[in-house]
Amino acid sequence: MKRIRTAKGRKPSSTRWLERQLNDPYVRRAKAENYRSRAAFKLIELDERFRLLKGVKAVVDLGIAPGGWSQVVRRKVPQSAVVGIDLLPTDPIDGVTILQMDFMNDDAPDRLKEALGGDADLVLSDMAANTVGHQQTDHLRTMALVEAGLLFATEVLRPGGTYVAKVLAGGADNQLVAEMKRHFATVKHAKPPASRKDSSEWYVIAQGFKGRESDKGSGWAGPAEGP
């Protein structure tokens, strides 16, 4: 295991982060395989389990920076069109249209739809709210992103499409999962091996979009299972 000497002016937490990076096999694999981040392997592992990328032609990547997930999509499905959005700058990726703006801005969904130019087969969301250290507040902020992504997904997905979103430990709450089940044939939670064991992140995978014709009625559906 590689150790980092505590440099003058460097916080112990920064030293621990550097040591973790140097000793992380996924970080080494990402560098060796020319992925922009270790997060690429989370999508690779989710795809191996749920076959997310099979036959996809159009993908939306919410929270694209630094671009690892879109790299995976383009490598596995080279003919696919990808549109991504992030508040942070993202270096260009061949075959990917990147918007630098906040997805929560009112005009962001329309900008994405315009760039997409049609329906999508897959909406991916690796968005994460900035944490404030208060568990309930952090959970609510993350669920707001998941819910916003779900609304967008129901507006752009083709029938049979998939929505994947990052959630926190415990998964999406019952009401949100129930709403997903109203729109999708199956809703499951998963924690890919590439997610660090000490991380609270999980992913919710909603597959088999029922189509916009089924989006009738109002209110939340009944109780649903957790992870």
CA–CA distances in Å: residue 87 to residues 65, 129, 131, 167, 227: 8, 12, 16, 19, 29
Point out the catalytic residue in the list 42, 166, 191, 210.
Answer: 166
Place of tokens 């061949």: 94
CA–CA distances in Å: residue 11 to residues 2, 15, 23, 181: 18, 7, 19, 45
Q: What burial class does residue 19 get, using C-beta atoms within 10 Å of its C-beta: 0-12 exposed, 13-18 middle, 19+ buried?
A: middle
Active site residue 166: yes
In the sheet where 184-190 sits, what is the strand order? 96-100, 81-86, 58-62, 120-125, 157-167, 202-209, 184-190
Residue 86 counted as an annotated binding residue? yes
Residue 106 counted as an annotated binding residue? no
Residue 95 counted as an annotated binding residue? no
Detail the residues annotated as belonging to a binding site for S-adenosyl-L-methionine: 67, 69, 86, 102, 126
Detail the residues annotated as belonging to a binding site: 67, 69, 86, 102, 126
Kindly list the catalytic residues.
Answer: 166
